[in-house]
Structure formats: structure tokens, C-alpha cells
Structure 1
């Protein structure tokens, strides 16, 4: 049986297999013993009856009669010829089946003549067949009973394992104050497995808490320097004497600071697992944020020689949390910018979300799911990224209740679509 079969099914299979082997061995043994005893006892009995028939024939010079079901044939007297179906049999005991009739034959040779005793045994054969039918029925019933008993015991054995699996799968088990699992189980294999889960879950809880604290602390500490950078940029832009090139550089620094601020807000939200007050976060309409992203990315697309278009196919007026939506849209546009060498990139707004379409190299089908994993980049990776952009996009979408999908064919471009659903 395959190793991937459920454990409960394997337990049932073991019960049935054991019954097949043991019950089959006993059943075959019964049949063999019946045949052996039948041949041994009947052979001895018919040998005595044959001696009696020979003595009677010699004394009375007539064919001996033993009972209504037994006949004696002898080539010595020549009175009764042996029927053809009994000729050519070996010495000693033989069993002859002729249609529905059954005969026991015992043959003994004396020099030039043969003595044969024939006994009708169809009634005995019928009883023997009934015995064999009973043995077969018992064997089948034992197999069926083993299947039922195996199911019952497998359920009882697997009940604590299923319970443990359900407790481990429960998301509350990762909370810091979650109770330990092992006290609920006896000190057996399942109890030791629960203790191992407790230890592993404890390590996982510690790692998650350490990651959550690190992300929260770093994001919190970055707020102050980012505020200083943003304020300084505002002061510089208001100051006189800056050239147009210098103003453009300061504006670029301000945009980068704003992007980093959005990332900090996003990381804080992800680190706190949605516990941050959603009312504090800035909310924007999809069309307004898309127009902002279009203005920000247009110069870079133009410098690369790519056409960049913003198309509104009827976006809704729902408002969404700006940091998360801005991070998702910005990462998808950055991905299209890096992987498109010629042609166009389109940002298309719809009633239920938006799409980013490009005319780049496309994504092979076998990689379309992997690219959303952390530190995974395409076969023809571009830019200096680490493969975290699309992973961050999926994490944000999962946390916000959005859905991100990709459709692509090699050398035909890609289309990343984000279904936003209702505003949060």
C-alpha cells in the first residue's frame, strides 16, 4: 500500500491483511486435514471390508454383500466385471467423481487377479461440501469482521491524533498566551508528540514575536528621521535661490521619503497583524492615487523610451488605506518598469480594482506562482531587487482582504490584476 495513504486506512488494511493471512491459513488447514483424515480413515475401513469380502467369497463361493452402498468386484471369480470408470486406478484408496455421483474405491492386487471395493459416498460428499461452504463463509465473515473492527479501532486510535492536529492548526495556538497541548494527553506516543509540538510552537511563537517586535521597533524609529527629511525638503522647496535641477532633486528626495513613510506604515500594519487603529490611516480613492502614481512614474518611463498610459474604465468611489494601496500599485509599476524593454505599460482602473499590463518578456507558467514567494526572482531578473516586491504585494493583499493574480505568456507581456473588493 502506498505510503501516502491515510493512517486510518492503513490500520484497517493491516487488520484485513492479517485476517486474510491467518484466516486463510486456518481455512486451508481445515480443508487439508479433512482430506487427510478422510483418506486415512476411509482407507483403513475399506481395507478391512475388502478382507471381509474376500473371505466371504472364498467361503461361500458367492459375491460378498457388505451393505446397500458397497459393492465388491473380483477378477478371480469372474462373476462381476469391473465397470470401466473404475479401471486403471492405482493400488490402495482412490476417490472417483462421476457427475453428481461420488465413489470411494479401494483396490488390491493378488498376483494375476485384482479385488476392488466400491462404496457410494455422494451423501458424505454433500456433507463435506456443506462443511467447506461453512469454512468459506466463516472465512469471509472473519474478513468482514476484521474490516469493521479495524475501522472501529482505527477511529479510536486516530481520535487523539485528529484532535491534536486540529489544535495545532488552530491559529490561536500561535498566540503568546495559548495553553500547552501536552497536559491534555496521557504519557504515550501521542502525548510525546504533543510535547514536541509544544516545544516547536514555543520556538515559533518566540520567533514570530521577535520578528514582530523588530519590525515594529524599526518602523517606529524610522518615523522621526523620515519626518525630518520631509520637513527639510519642504523648507528647501520654499527657499529661494534653487535652480530648476536642484528643485527637481529635492522633489525626488521628498517623493522617496514619502514612499518610505508608506512602507513604514505598511510594515507596522503587517507587524501588528491588523491591530493598528485603521481610523488613523489616510484613505484615498483609487483614481486619485492612480493619478499620483502616474505623475510620479511618467518621467522614468519616458526616459526609458516606454509609453505609459493611465486608463479609467469606471473606477468606484470607494476609499482605501493609502499606504497599503500605494505600496501595492508602486511595486507592480516598478516590476513592469524593470521587465519591459520596449512597448508600453498601462495602468487600468476598473470598478473592482486595477490592472498593470506590460509588453515585456512575460513569465513562464511554471513560475507564475513562485514569483510571489520571498527572495524569488524570474529567470531573467532585472534591477537590483532581492525578490521581495511581489511577496510584499501578496502579503498586503492577504492582510487587506484583496486578491492579486497574474496572467502571462512568454514574450507576450504580463498582466497583474488586483481585486480590491469593498473598502475597509
Structure 2
């Protein structure tokens, strides 16, 4: 899986921050450590300066806390005597020159400062190097801690900056995702960062090319459907005129197949013309339509067909409801849904229609007792010319596609779902549209 641009930026900036902070922390630690060692050397120098003015026992004596020296630091002062004295009194230290140096005393390493008084006596101020390094390490660590605490804050700021910098791209993606499939309007360049302008300009050029291609396709479909309408109508009339002629059984069967094919072709052409008309002029005139009356008119037209198929077609509930739409488009919407239900409901089945009106809008519901739709087909049921994996009848696959376009243009929502109750199956189509509240 290819990582996202946001992820790449965040990982790259995080790595850069981590490496930079690690390097800065290392050098800050070393600098603070060396400074602490030098400060402790300065402390030894100051204590030695005080020790020259006084006399101490020859054994190792801790520096007096009253002099401002912490006893835990294990600072000691030792009288070494004179170089002319027996070396055993001062041991190796007595032979060393004045100054700072590291020496081994027992199992420990010591940092010592040796000074000689005016009378020739010598004094040593010393401290174990392990204690010095512990103090220096603690001091250096305290210096690095703020930098370590700053790293999470820097990573948080980095994440916020990356997110804010990529927000215009996210906004553009959300805008495109929420658009209708037939909305090919160009993207606005207002407020778009300079770096994204070439990208948006390329998208707009692509949208213009797609719009030209779609317009050509729509015009071709409309022209082809219109040109084919007249010969298909004439063919249908001629086929119906042959009903007056006495034909053999085989010829009658062929004639029935011819009439069935002609009806199907005529129905397909009508759907294509409706789709083309809606595509070329999708604007809905400002007219108030009674949805319940349109539903009654369509049901009245389809009652003979439902009675012939033995299907109980009727209203489960109908309420007065007015919507702002074109009457012809609403009747086409209702007819296409009912045609789909009649085509798939078996003999003896039932189709219930419901028209409801409320503050949240108008709702048209058509529920049948057919076999329903395979779950894998539900996402594609509104695609043009899609007839499903187990299609049957004379459907062209355009009916529900036209319904979807009409409902989208009205600002509504259409859903289709399988229903099951008491061992029976069926399909429920629900259309919700804005209503005119008087």
C-alpha cells in the first residue's frame, strides 16, 4: 500500500526533528558535562586557596560544610608536608609538582590540586573522579531534559502544520466526492495555494473535455432515439394490423415475438428520449405539483396491466402532498418505479404504494412481494442499462437510472432495499423530496 503524502511528510519531518534533536542533545550534553567538570576544578582551586592560609591534620580531612562545600561531594583536604621531609608522610603526592592532575589512590581515581605555601609546606585538595563525573552527568542531564521534553511538542506542531498545509487538498477532495456524477462544473481557484493551482487547472481542463464528450454522447443518444422512433412505431402498427389476418400457429408465434420485440424497443426509445430530455434541460420549472394526484393517475393507468398479471396494486396510505417539480417528470418517476415492481412481482403478488407528507418533506414508498435484488446488485441498481445478475422481462435498465436523476435534480434521495417479513420477500423503494408546506 502506497503511503499518503501526509504520512510521508510527517515521517520525513519527524525523522529530521529526531535526528536534529539527538545531535543537539548529544552536543549539549557534552558541553554541559565539560562545563561541570571545569566548574568543579574551579571549586578545587578556590578551596586550595583557602587551605593555604590554614593548617590541617595530615590525614585526609573532608572540607568543612561551613565553607559552602557539600559533604556528599567527598572533597578532602590533606597536609602533605615539605618535599624535604620523609616521602612516606605524603607518599607519591609529595613528589608531584603543584597543579591539577588525576592520580590513583587505592582503588579509586582522584582529581587533586596541590599547592605549596611560602614556608615550603604543601597542601592537597582532592575529589574522587567518580563523584565528579556523577555530578557532571546529573548537571548535563538537567540541561538536556528541556530539549527532550520539547521533542513531543515539536512533533505535535509538525503534525498540525502538515495537516493545515494539506487542508486545501483535502477540501478539494471532499468537494469532488460530494458532487453529483453529472456535475462537471470547474473547480474554483479562489483561496487555493499557489502550489496547487497547476493541479486544479489540470483538473478543470479534464472536466471541460469530459463535459464535451458527455454532451456529444447525450446528443447522439437523443438524435438516435428520435430517428428510430418513427420506424419502430410504424413497425409496431403493421404488426398489430396483422392480427386481422388468419395465420398458422407457427406464424402467430413469430408475430407475437415480433410484437414483443417492437414493444420492448419502443419502450427503450421512450426511456432514452426521457433521459435525453432530462439531461439537456434538467431545470425544473417553478410549479407546485400534487404528488398524491400524480400517484393516483399513474396507478389508474397501470391497473389493467396489474389485473392481467394477477397482481394486487393499490395504496396502503395516501396523504395530500405538494412538491415543487415538473408534473411530467413526477409521473415518469412514479411510473418507472411501478413498472419495475410489476415486472418482478409474481402472479398473486402485491404492490403497496404510500404517499406521506410531513415537515421533513414528502415520502413516496413502493413495496412489492417480488424476489428482491441480490445484495451484490444493490450498489449498481441505479446505473444506466444495468439489469441485474438475474434480470427477467422486457426491462431496459434505464427506469431506475431516470428515477435517480429526477430525484437528484429535485434535491431528494431515493433508496432501494430488500425486505423480508413472515417468510415473504420483497423490495421497497423509497423516495424523499422537499415538500411545499402551505
TM-score (norm 2): 0.59
What's the CA shift for 1:344?
A: 0.9
The alignment status of 1:416 with 2:416, answered yes or no, reads no
What's the CA shift for 1:285?
A: 2.3
Counterparts in 2 of 1:214 and 1:255: CA distance versus 1, 3 Å:
closer
Alignment correspondent of 2:313: 309
CA contact (8 A) 1:72 1:118 kept: no
CA contact (8 A) 1:359 1:412 kept: yes
Measured in 1, the distance between the counterparts of 2:364 and 2:350 equals: 13
What's the CA shift for 1:64?
A: 5.9
Alignment correspondent of 1:404: 414
The alignment status of 1:292 with 2:290, answered yes or no, reads no
Measured in 2, the distance between the counterparts of 1:273 and 1:260 equals: 20
Count of aligned pairs = 363
**One of 102, 109, 114 as aligned partner of 1:92:** 109
Alignment correspondent of 1:269: 277
CA contact (8 A) 2:62 2:76 kept: yes
Alignment correspondent of 2:400: 390
What's the CA shift for 1:3?
A: 3.6
Counterparts in 2 of 1:133 and 1:197: CA distance versus 1, 3 Å:
same
Alignment correspondent of 1:369: 379
The alignment status of 1:144 with 2:153, answered yes or no, reads yes
What's the CA shift for 1:287?
A: 0.7
Counterparts in 2 of 1:310 and 1:122: CA distance versus 1, 3 Å:
same
What's the CA shift for 1:23?
A: 0.8
Measured in 2, the distance between the counterparts of 1:391 and 1:383 equals: 17
Counterparts in 2 of 1:390 and 1:191: CA distance versus 1, 3 Å:
same
Counterparts in 2 of 1:180 and 1:14: CA distance versus 1, 3 Å:
same
The alignment status of 1:203 with 2:209, answered yes or no, reads yes
Name structure 2 gaps, 5 residues minimum: 70-74, 81-87, 91-104, 114-123, 247-251, 357-361
Alignment correspondent of 1:111: none
CA contact (8 A) 1:20 1:143 kept: no
The alignment status of 1:24 with 2:22, answered yes or no, reads yes
Measured in 2, the distance between the counterparts of 1:119 and 1:353 equals: 90
Counterparts in 2 of 1:339 and 1:116: CA distance versus 1, 3 Å:
farther
Measured in 2, the distance between the counterparts of 1:209 and 1:39 equals: 82
Measured in 1, the distance between the counterparts of 2:347 and 2:305 equals: 20
Name structure 1 gaps, 5 residues minimum: 54-59, 79-87, 94-103, 107-114
What's the CA shift for 1:402?
A: 4.1
- Alpha-carbon deviations, 1:179-213, whole Å to 9, x = none? 9969x986xx6344234324422321222221232
- Alpha-carbon deviations, 1:353-398, whole Å to 9, x = none? 5433233333455643333334545454334656444333322322
Counterparts in 2 of 1:314 and 1:41: CA distance versus 1, 3 Å:
closer
CA contact (8 A) 1:285 1:318 kept: no
Counterparts in 2 of 1:400 and 1:255: CA distance versus 1, 3 Å:
farther
Measured in 2, the distance between the counterparts of 1:67 and 1:288 equals: 111
Measured in 1, the distance between the counterparts of 2:134 and 2:370 equals: 86
1:120-159 matched pairs, under 5 angstroms: 129=138, 131-141=140-150, 144-145=153-154, 147-148=156-157, 151-152=160-161, 155=164, 157-158=165-166
Alignment correspondent of 1:101: none
The alignment status of 1:345 with 2:353, answered yes or no, reads no
CA contact (8 A) 1:12 1:154 kept: no
Q: Which runs of 4+ in 1 moved over 6 A?
A: 36-43, 120-128, 166-173, 179-182, 226-230, 251-258, 276-279, 281-284
Counterparts in 2 of 1:185 and 1:126: CA distance versus 1, 3 Å:
closer
Measured in 2, the distance between the counterparts of 1:338 and 1:257 equals: 16
Measured in 1, the distance between the counterparts of 2:22 and 2:216 equals: 61
1:123-272 matched pairs, under 5 angstroms: 129=138, 131-141=140-150, 144-145=153-154, 147-148=156-157, 151-152=160-161, 155=164, 157-158=165-166, 161=169, 174-175=184-185, 190-221=196-227, 263-264=271-272, 266-272=274-280
TM-score (norm 1): 0.60
Measured in 2, the distance between the counterparts of 1:213 and 1:322 equals: 24
Counterparts in 2 of 1:19 and 1:218: CA distance versus 1, 3 Å:
same
